[in-house]
Chains A and B, each alone.
Chain A
């Protein structure tokens, strides 16, 4: 490598070559999938890219790079010319070679040390398999006759084919001595080289110029070529090893027109480049004549014809953009300070307000514009996955298709770069573990080709990236078993977890469900890396899975890391910024409601918010800041000794140990709403002294509800200020380990404040959402149970009497019939009594025989018989016995809380006062069972 070559040229070459490779990777995949229906444009793009790399490498004398790209080019040319079909082996060879090129570009100075023998061998085998030297089969029609006109004699079909292949046509002049012999080439070598980069459509030597034997050797004869190639003009000259002045591009548009006009003409002897000027001025480019255009214009026209006239771009160093970004950040800060400082002066200085407004707007737009320059489409990351999946599916014997949606969604460059690792990990997992083998998929009646969808879209100031597969899904049972086996959770915790929570355990550190460590993934580094990397970017990752249906991993990411809208909150005398993406809502709990709405669950405080339990943390406690409160009486800021939000104390207790300082000693008071704060409280009226802090508005609670993934929690702060656009400054390495903070920023008033990290706060506060969810579940069940009990308490009963003054209630739903019977109809057999009921002797139970009550009065002529309802063989039936009562008093719907009855005996549910009488509630079936009259039947 020549040392005189400027380093910047080399680095430009490397950057361009990398871009070329990145750009053609999707094209190569398209080649493989396209098979025969391959578009020429795709092939040409690939060819041009590889050729550019070869050209640059040749110029900069990177021999290995040049050699490998040249071999790739030869293979691609055979494909382009239809002499070689696309097959997986060919593509493997091309992909492997492309990877080698990448490896060489990674350390360009050592590129010659990169072993390429294997790749060269594969490409050579492909070329040899064809039995042809690249381009050897191109034939040129011989022309009949002697001195024809000095024009190209063209085969119309050949030209048409060249044009349809997207080739540019060039008029090139090569001098036999100067351009061929002096460069150490043979005429055949020159032609072979020309054929390797394009198509020689015609060539001739002007016979008029040929001198006789006497003078011929002193003469430098010119060969004129009509040459077709996908290369642009400058590259074509480089490829032909000719001075640029000797190569000019022809107007293909004119030629196309001409060919359209006479499509059937086989021998188009159109004088495309008539009368080639004699080599008097060989160094000068041929004059643009009819049918030709100035090279620049022609090149331009060529590009325009290919629709390649996209927006102009300029290569800029990322470092420069980062600097600009930082400067813009500083400008935003200064603007904020300026606005703050001059806010009050607007009236004093005429026109100041509009100037400030202007500065404000321009700064915002400038900052936004600079931010845009760093934005990159997520497609730059997505596009690498089809290739990875292609290689993996071949390796794993699976059929996998990758679909990409929303590749144009933009993210800050730094985020895009940091996304590569986590996304690669997820996608490898998809291909390796999630997508089943074709046989397995067929068995499950699925399409044998698995699908992986990469989808990016904007939502609420965030970019959402969803990676969805239609594979086997994650089995929560397996996950749970593994998580318990690895000690990640306890069995007791597991009982309360939802399936969604269980599958999300795969993000826990040290979790890997791969039963065998494969070559591709499952190397012991699990999805926790995905989670930690995503969280580092200020994002979150979640997973949803359905067994047999597939899995979706969702990453939520901020658009940029540099400037973020944030809520500014205050605790004691400190302020903090909370990124707005984490903020769900603000909840204001009046001081008087604190005790009712805030409670403790498993030792942690929770807020009951719309029937959900929201865990609460006090920012002061998490950050170790001394809690203070504004004394409602004096307005002074004082230490808060309450340990819990809902703690109460007797009025006046504050005075016991905390004599209020005189009003003049109180620090500046701040209102609940920051800027819009009410004026400082006036000296309190005497009655305020008696007022409890619990009911004072200064004791109201400001709760910021934050979201971390799918969990939410509340942060209790003292004050809420504005939402501001803050410029994120990275934390110094000394405090990078402070999990609660993600960065710092400078406020408009010059104050440095910390930016809170929602995820870090959760860790720091040891919040366990699963405990709470379990509690919530418990409570929910408890409520259901209570409701059920309440419903069951409400019952319809028949109130009846036994002995005078003794009242009983029997649930109506347990009674099948009530029959009046005459005392005389009761027959006695031994100590049992019977009544003739529909032709059967029905045993009777008298209350006094079963429970300790007085006997039904013997003086009655008629009594009532209760026949309870039983279920026999699944249907309602009448019990085989009746209970005797003396009278029926009422049928009531009652809601009573039964108390344990003072009376003993089977079938007593309890007692309650009904209509001023103590009434015993009976369970007739239990009663019959107690009397030994109910067997084989169930209530």
Chain B
């Protein structure tokens, strides 16, 4: 489990904005991440990549946050994808059929 202060690393490479949360997307951290993400996607560019390689847990609020990010990107016309997803979290994306909304790449 990755704990510690919610920290969102944003990397911009060309038109692609890479968002890397450094701790789990769970109830205790989602509010903080939402604020950071809102700021980051003000200018999303053409593509937004959510890099989950640092996280091990994703709870209901975490999923909601990912979906909210997806929706915001969609509205802004930016492509959205999730990368670096670990085993269990891949299963959640797959089982909830979220892969139909955006590409999910396993770590």
Contact = CB atoms under 8 A, between A and B. Distances in A.
Interface of A: 139-140, 142-146, 148, 176-177, 180-181, 186-188, 191, 200, 202-205, 207, 210-217, 219, 221, 223
Contacts of A205: 67, 96-98
B54 interface: no
Contacts of A203: 95-97
A213 B37 contact: yes
Interface in B9-38: 27, 30-31, 34, 37-38
A223 to B, nearest CB: 6
Contacts of B8: none
Contacts of B58: 186-187
A518 B37 CA distance: 76
Nearest to B27: A181
7 contacts: A140-B97, A146-B101, A181-B27, A188-B88, A188-B89, A216-B67, A217-B30
A216 B57 contact: no
A264 B97 CA distance: 24
Contacts of B65: 213, 216-217
B97 A142 contact: yes
A139 B99 CA distance: 13
Contacts of B31: 217
Contacts of B100: 142-146, 148, 204
A213 B96 contact: no
Contacts of B69: 213, 216
A151 to B, nearest CB: 12
Contacts of B37: 213
Contact of B60 (A143, A176, A214): A176
Contacts of B57: 186
A213 B95 contact: no
Interface in B56-83: 57-61, 63-65, 67-72, 75
Contact of A181 (B38, B61, B75, B89): B61
A433 B21 CA distance: 73
A140 B98 contact: no
A217 B64 contact: yes
A203 B97 CA distance: 6
A221 B97 CA distance: 14
A207 B92 contact: no
Contacts of B91: 188, 191
A246 to B, nearest CB: 16
Contacts of A211: 68, 71
Contacts of A140: 94-95, 97
B97 A217 contact: no
Contact of B64 (A142, A191, A202, A221): A221
Contacts of B70: 210
A183 to B, nearest CB: 10
Contacts of B60: 176-177, 180-181, 186-187
Nearest to A139: B94
Contacts of A142: 94, 97, 99-100
B101 A213 contact: no
A791 to B, nearest CB: 100
Top 10 closest pairs, chain A to chain B, by CB: A216-B68, A181-B60, A176-B60, A143-B100, A212-B72, A213-B68, A142-B99, A213-B72, A210-B71, A191-B95
A210 B97 contact: no
Contact of B34 (A139, A188, A217): A217
A470 B8 CA distance: 79
